[in-house]
Structure 1
């Protein structure tokens, strides 16, 4: 099958042929990129007039969570609530629709948006849903707020010991308050029932549709578990997976890592799903004060965050993953966590040198001045989410203070050392729209336009921001020979845009949306005929 796309301003991101007006797609790949006058495609089965619109190679989110986006569609949305009481009201309304005793899950609350900025307690949920176990995951996925019924179902009480790398918030009597941080969440998750295969498969389809409508053609999924990968396989077999997923399996899931440690990497669905990486988590998140810092939090003296994996195990797991053929992706937000991640890579390379390991540091959010050049020196790739910067602006200074803030979200400092940055969103923590991330990278301001003076010298150029969702992401997943640009021979993944990301006013960048999206030469999303 061949398709002609013409009358567009097509940014190929191929340095040898950067802007063209016509593409020919044949058998899912780019067969021609150039001027309409230079190609004869009378036999094309379909011709698409782009109407002068701009087009880009397929946009890929280098750090997203399709599994969690799907689960969120099956649970209560606590996002955007401005107080603990507002979340409780939503819980009460949902509980009234459920059979007595049914588990009520949810996600999205953020105490940093509340006037008092204090942790919630189980009491509000007990009053809202006295006859249901309730567990609500914080927006960043690093804390869970539960009621007494959920805590009892999980066997969590005053005598429960905190797991390594976790925290059970307690009151003055030692009783759990209802908030579990980082690895302590697993105590609760073991008791929470999973959705049926049928419900989860449908939720995945809806989540993919949401990603396509946002402008994505694929993701790098960080921390995929076996049950989610089984769902993707079922959908691929039914022809219901119009998306690409480079999956990093979750080391924290014992069953998932045990399976893939024995099996090794795999691909299925004509490479729509590539299980090629291992995801490790060194620390928690800044918003829940679990990010591991060298010095205490400015707004929580005595707390330096949480290290979820003992330092000696980080290097062991890094080596084990690499030996089995997996790219290793390590979650590190705090400056201490980033030091530990880079130390682990250095130790691994000393024991087993590898020329092209493409070790990734997921988030690389807070860095010491000493660690910034180490990325380039060790060949590590920072995978960063620009919208975290603009979302965290309201409160991050309270956590870090002015000195550490200079090494926060330090895109320009890293780029100037010669590394590339893989761009993502961390959805569902943030919106899956890649244009929100591109705007945040370029403007380094919230979408309101408010100038907060957050190290404007760290901004990216538009070209860098776009590459962070295209060519640099392809390199960050070892797929640069087939994805990332619209060069002849590569897969025909592309997005036709509502506005030109390179030419429109900066303030309009975040509002760009896809008009037409192709994955492997097939139209998978169409807003209207371009």
Structure 2
């Protein structure tokens, strides 16, 4: 038995104690097999082993209820286009990536958005890519992953008729103009090209093998309905350790950014109502097939027309509230749909960071009558709809603290004027619940996950700042001190001695032209000492003497000897700054730890 003492341990109120506030305990005891035995305040019980939490805040283990693990890993090696602000940027990113990775059979990218590339929101075309890369295939996914633009070579490999004026693609669209295929593929049309670029995924097999070796996280697999019956996915209940598989994923529509989310009222200024990925009969059959095989269903639905179709199909397939069907995204709803979700026991799997990322174009694309039911998390909770929080990474950052922050504020830091529907902002407790109790309930594991209480698994996170009092600290760097799963420490923040680092040692910081080139076009965080600065040019010196040029934003403050710069890597020596944070006159352990992560190629991925 182990006792954790001197902590500020979050305690959820009892379900029977309506409207009761949360409290904090000071200690908890954990069994050798990872179960919480007791929590309390005052004098702790004696134990063979004791860990002093030193006053730190301890939260229940955090759940990301919607994350694309394999895509997150794959995208780490892809061209990151999130920093593109023009078509010149778009082509320059392509040119530099092409030069840096000449041996890749396919160039794959992610992160562009037409609204960022030009004031007219023109989509990129195959000709834009051909102008840079025409001798090997290229596929570049939009930030939402529901649209891709490809070059001519990729279309030829996929057997697409370049001159045809129309294409018959079930639940997808190949855009054409007077010259034939433009290179834009929507929804299922993306698969026509993507299947040639992808290698078969063995993620399920690998995770099952790792389970017995001590995974540092819990994984709830949600394979696609297209994989139903294949040997590559587990049967329900076949793997119930740290890896489990109990639900099946179904798509019902597209995305708002791609204007393929299915709406009841057309997108502003158009007759377009988006795309339903299934007929009514097809959707009922998919749901019925999944449930007959013993799986629960998790259905992607962004638009209100898609949600209406899904709720109707769940009733037709006789999916009872006890099965806890999940509706993922729930971005555009209506009063009638919220009521039906509650009555049918449908869980809302929501992505709070979408409220920040999507705000600008949601206002442009949705009619005023639709906006009040956009991302209405507060209204869902107040009307009795159970909700869980997720990131949809790599669409958004997989940092759950960013999701909690965005659920509370719904705007970028220091941009409160951009808040989308302030009446839908959540309290800290409501936001935290999405990622703890809500995630556990969505996984049907609320009796042993989601809180720190006797009989529950000892899953918890120890923080370095008290985010319950200072919510802005949720997005502070190096917030997490340690992570525990089943009473086992699976992560410990590294503490490194700045003065003791030597070149070539495990703690040495190495930032050079090669590491900068490797992360060309990516948004990163870099800590360095200010060597010189003017309003238009800054030079940072890293711990091993490497000089990095920074192009600052107008009005940025570099009046400190040490700063953190968040920006886009432009070339092997330059970062285009988005934001700075002043750290004072000396490197301390926290900033040096961040810096070493950068030097080792472990850039913190950040999104504007």
TM-score (norm 1): 0.87
Shift of 1:453: 5.1
Mapped contact 2:389–2:439 kept (Cα < 8 A): yes
1:207-266 CA-partner distances (Å, limit 9, x unpaired): xxxxxxxxxxxxxxxxxxx62212322433554x31111111111xx3x22327996314
Q: How many residues align structurally?
A: 485
- Decide whether the 8 Å contact of 2:87 with 2:118 is kept in 1: no
Greater relative contact order (CA < 8 Å, ≥ 6 in sequence): 1
How far apart, CA to CA, are the structure 1 residues paired with 2:23 and 2:445? 20
RMSD: 2.2
Stretches of structure 1 that go unaligned for 5 or more consecutive residues are 196-225
Alpha-carbon shift at residue 36 of structure 1 (Å)? 5.5
Cα displacement string for residues 259-315 of structure 1 (whole angstroms, at most 9, x for unaligned residues): 2799631443x611111101100000000111011121114x121111111121112
2:288 is aligned, of 304, 307, 319, to 319
Q: Show CA shifts across 1:385-422 (max 9, x none).
A: 11101111111111102110011001122112112211
Q: Measure, in 1, the Cα distance between the counterparts of 2:87 and 2:487.
A: 47
Within-5 A mapping of 1:52-201: 52-99=55-102, 102-116=105-119, 117-157=121-161, 158-159=163-164, 161-173=167-179, 175-194=180-199
Whether the 8 Å CA contact 1:63–1:426 is kept in 2: the answer is yes
Report deviation, 1:459.
Answer: 1.6
Say whether 1:271 aligns with 2:241.
yes
Residues 63-94 of structure 1: CA deviation (Å, up to 9, x unaligned) = 11111101101222122221233122222212
SS at match of 1:137: strand
**Alignment gaps of 5+ in structure 2:** 16-21, 496-589, 591-608
Distance 1:360 1:246 in 2: 14
> Normalising by structure 2, what TM-score?
0.76
From 460, 472, 485, give the equivalent of 2:426. Answer: 460
- TM-superposed CA distance for 1:425, in Å, is 1.3
Offset of 1:100 from its aligned partner?
Answer: 6.0
Structure 2 residue 324 is matched with structure 1 residue 358 = yes
Matches of 1:71 and 1:521, distance apart in 2: 30
1:246 aligns with 2:220: yes
In 1: Cα distance, 2:273 partner to 2:232 partner: 33
Q: CA deviation at 1:372?
A: 1.6
Equivalent of 2:259, from 289, 297, 303?
A: 289
Equivalent residue, structure 2, for 1:511: 476
Q: Secondary structure at the match of 2:199?
A: coil
Looking at structure 1, the residues matched to 339 and 328 of structure 2 have their Cα atoms a distance apart, in angstroms, of 16
Quick one: distance in 2 between partners of 1:471 and 1:58?
9
The structural deviation recorded for 1:5 is 1.9
Closer, same or farther: CA 178–262 of 1 in aligned 2, 3 Å: closer
Q: 2:11 aligned with 1:12, yes or no? A: yes
Tell me which protein shows more helix as a share of its residues.
Answer: 1
Greater Rg, structure 1 or structure 2?
Answer: 2
Output the CA distance in 2 between the equivalents of 1:38 and 1:235: 36
Inter-CA distance 496–114: structure 2 relative to 1 (3 Å threshold): same
What's the offset of the Cα at 1:14?
A: 5.4
Q: 1:263 to 1:522 in 2, by over 3 A?
A: closer
The Cα of 1:6 is off from its aligned counterpart by: 1.5
Alpha-carbon deviations, 1:491-516, whole Å to 9, x = none? 11111112222211x43333372111
Separation (CA, whole Å) in 2 of partners of 1:498 and 1:15: 27
Is residue 35 of structure 1 aligned with residue 10 of structure 2?
Answer: no
Provide the C-alpha distance between the structure 2 equivalents of 1:354 and 1:101, rounded to a whole number of angstroms: 48
Measured after TM superposition, the shift of residue 446 of structure 1 is: 2.2
Does structure 1 retain, via aligned residues, the 8 Å contact 2:211–2:241? no
Q: Are 2:275 and 1:306 equivalent residues in the alignment?
A: yes
